[in-house]
Structure 1
């Protein structure tokens, strides 16, 4: 009997899951992907766009390209998940499913971020384009990189943007006129990866004369005074502010019975199954507790490998085969620092008693590796 698998979200996890399912299932089974946007953005390249190394059209592809692979793409807003009746509501449509994969990601709450020509959300395409324009006209002062709250996706990004801006202004002979500071609620950079990794990244940024200000809880941003206020009574000035906005679970997830107490979807750490039969969740929308009690970071690499496991297992179940594939907690990321170099961190976040992560020394090979990975991504999945 033919089955219908619906994937909600066209980010890293959704794209991989759709491709892998289509590869493993005959065409009598339908694979559908739904996203509100018409294009898939390769977010790791957003930092390159900020520096003018990429144009918007170079880092995105139309999701309609999946149709030629026999994946049915529907552009629309997911405004309801009916778990009892196995239905999702998209615009005015009600679509039934046999299997559902929720890969809707984390949404950015921009409500507390003032809209001025000095404050930028660099976690979205439109914001990144504005940062490019702003830094080209910046001649001196303090640039603050602010992590509003935790959790947030791509834990390396605030440190990468600070390092890349240091490089950018050094090339323009302006670095000595610009103070770059990072303000974050984290105790160390990327704390889930452990103190060895965190201290190594801290040394990298401080070695480039970038300030690291940890353990700060944001109170407010005053655009007129150009001030950031933290608990209990700390105030910091800025001339340009790059913000990682608060992250939240999508409204449709919070309103469904899938969401846990935090608003994210709790899943089995290996299979990514929810408590509902035939319903899986992958990527940033999930809540995965690690053996040490911390939560798995939100990053595209995890969504990618989780998607592979889910696709294997759904296809296996449809075929009557127990594939037994599980996400094993392994992940990696590049850490761009300019000067044609990048660091590379990789390891096992499910290791006992703590995640086992190694940061490879920054070099040109890792920067080249990211360039090649960008090319591979679009070739492989589109």
Structure 2
């Protein structure tokens, strides 16, 4: 068999994990990675930029050395379509063919609420996190409204964890800055039990933390619109000088012009082996895909890494004429940080665990960041 041409779309968690797995198990494979920029952003630590624990450049890793070590050809381009059952990737810099494709371009935020331009979205990247810091530093007094949304057609496509962390981190930091009494904090969510996929114990603990810290809660009322004056919900208005909102997620925009199957929520439809349904040697990992499994299956970096490992093993098996058998472990694990302490949340199909806030968990999260980035740098 000739040396296969393997194409990876994206340069985030799932994509880089896939590169490492491929080089370990298929050292002779030709790997082409298509992404707009040769850089990696460690998104979980964006929560620390508004409070000054991190600067943007600490979280941005140039990928040139990584690509060189792993003999990856990088194509600086944006995907516009995937055609011919996955064999042809169309970009704004030309077309690229492959023998096997792994899609790891991530998802995108649903920005349909009227006035969404008045809200800042943390996970849009370093610039957004830095803008939040600037706005908070410039506030002499007032209220910050923090919330997150969902995808109505795919309820699991939500990223609430970072907003809990941002909320608690800001509260603790403002208190240390002796500004907490001048700045109110409010949390809003359409659900009466926000963050339910973390587990019932975790939801109760998170809401209890808000009450304990004097954070106003507006739960069970769907947000209708944003303005420079605050948030309008079905249950009334929330006056605010600053709105921090994480919209629900959907799949990549280029999917609409592709011949790949889409889920009801707009993601690439995958089976339990991360294979794109009805396509040969096409796999997906991370936020771009919709996967079978429990309704709490997270959209987070850890799950993206697990999916990428399974996808690579199945991709190589397919190229070798063997059936795909690897399935990613369904697992949610995160430390909900609050500036100087953290709460551990773990969930699997068999059990769930929650550890109350403790300072060592904050340092564990910081250690994991350095450990992860060291492997990429």
TM above 0.5, yes or no, is: yes
Gaps of 5+ in 2: none
Gaps of 5+ in 1: none
> In the aligned structure 1, how far is the partner of 2:220 from the partner of 2:361?
30
Residue in 2 that maps onto 1:333: 334
Write out per-residue CA displacement over residues 182-212 of structure 1, whole angstroms, 9 at most, x where no aligned residue. Answer: 1112332321233222112221222212223
- Residue of 237, 261, 265 corresponding to 1:262: 265
SS of residue in 1 equivalent to 2:20: helix
1:1-382 → structure 2 map (5 Å cutoff): 1-27=2-28, 29-68=29-68, 69-84=70-85, 86-110=87-111, 112-113=114-115, 115=117, 119-124=119-124, 125-150=126-151, 152-223=157-228, 226-231=229-234, 234-256=236-258, 257-269=260-272, 271-275=273-277, 276-291=279-294, 294=295, 296-318=297-319, 324-338=325-339, 340-348=340-348, 350-351=349-350, 356-382=351-377
Q: Which moved more, 1:150-159 or 1:61-70?
A: 150-159
> In the aligned structure 2, how far is the partner of 1:345 from the partner of 1:366?
11
Q: CA deviation at 1:85?
A: 6.6
> In the aligned structure 2, how far is the partner of 1:147 from the partner of 1:84?
35
> In the aligned structure 2, how far is the partner of 1:85 from the partner of 1:219?
39
- Aligned residue pairs, count: 367
Write out per-residue CA displacement over residues 302-322 of structure 1, whole angstroms, 9 at most, x where no aligned residue. Answer: 101111111222234445666
Write out per-residue CA displacement over residues 234-291 of structure 1, whole angstroms, 9 at most, x where no aligned residue. Answer: 222112111213433211123323312321122123x111111111111111222434
> In the aligned structure 2, how far is the partner of 1:186 from the partner of 1:289?
23
Q: CA deviation at 1:380?
A: 1.6
> In the aligned structure 2, how far is the partner of 1:108 from the partner of 1:49?
20
Confirm or deny: 8 A CA contact 1:159 1:205 kept in the other structure.
no
Relative distance call for 1:365 and 1:199 in structure 2 (3 A) is same
Relative distance call for 1:289 and 1:315 in structure 2 (3 A) is closer
Confirm or deny: 8 A CA contact 2:86 2:101 kept in the other structure.
no
CA RMSD of aligned residues (A): 2.1
- TM-score, structure 1 as length reference: 0.89
